[in-house]
């Protein structure tokens, strides 16, 4: 009596399932980036509105949140803008040390942009 092996269909099915799982990851990453970008602009718009209304404490909060999302996106321009707005608000409120710290942090991102543009 000859035993038949049924391993071949099982491995083929397993291979197809694994390929499908890995191919779906790329769309998920793009969707996540898109959601983060949308959230950034939502916070950014809210911060701009509050800044124009001169409600600096709330605007500072939203710029800070937007900066964190800019870091998650690795978008230096978004980070720099948020930091410079934060520094401006700190200077208006006579927080010179905090303003200087925010501006100095923005300079680090300027340097990263400059270095990447030279390469």
Query: Quick check: pTM over 0.75?
Result: no
Digit-coded pLDDT (tens) for 2-55: 655 555 566 566 667 666 666 655 555 566 888 999 999 999 999 999 999 999
Digit-coded pLDDT (tens) for 64-109: 999 999 999 999 999 999 999 999 999 999 999 999 999 999 999 9
DSSP 23-76: HHHHHHHHHHHHHHHHHHHHHHHHHHHHHHTT-HHHHHHHHHHHHHHHHHHT-H
């Amino acid at each position: 009596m000859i035993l038949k092996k049924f391993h071949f269909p099982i491995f083929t099915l397993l291979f197809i399932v694994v390929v499908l799982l890995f191919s779906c990851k790329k769309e998920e990453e793009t969707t996540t980036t898109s959601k983060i970008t949308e959230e950034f602009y939502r916070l950014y718009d809210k911060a701009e509105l509050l800044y124009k209304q001169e409600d600096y404490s709330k605007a500072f909060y939203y710029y800070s949140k937007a900066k964190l999302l800019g870091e998650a996106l690795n978008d230096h321009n978004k980070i720099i803008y948020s930091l410079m707005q934060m520094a401006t608000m700190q200077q208006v409120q006579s927080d010179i040390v905090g303003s200087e710290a925010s501006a100095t942090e923005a300079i680090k991102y300027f340097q990263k942009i400059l270095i990447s543009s030279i390469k």
